Amino acid sequence: MTTALIALTDRTNLLLRLSAGACAAISLAALVAHIFGLLPMAFFLTLFGVPSLLFLFGLAAWARRISATTFLNCLAVGLAGGFLATLAYDGIRWIFGLTHLFQYNGFLAIYIFGSWISGRATTTFAAAVAGWLYHFWNGLSFGVMYTLTFTRKHWLYGVAYGIVMEIFMLGLFPLFLRITNKRDFIVMSMLGHMVYGGVLGLVAQRYTRSWKDTDGKQR
Tens-place pLDDT, residues 24-73: 999 999 999 999 999 999 999 999 999 999 999 999 999 999 889 999 99
Mean pLDDT for all residues in the chain? 90
pTM over the 0.75 mark: yes
134-137 LR contacts (CB < 8 Å, sep 24+): 134/27, 134/45, 134/110, 135/86, 135/110, 136/83, 136/86, 137/27
Beta-carbon count within 10 A of 175 CB: 9
Taking residues 91-115, report their average pLDDT.
Answer: 89
Closest CA to 199 of 83, 73, 95: 83
Total residue count of the chain as it appears in this document: 219
Q: Measured between alpha carbons, how far is 189 from 112 in angstroms, rounded to an integer?
A: 17
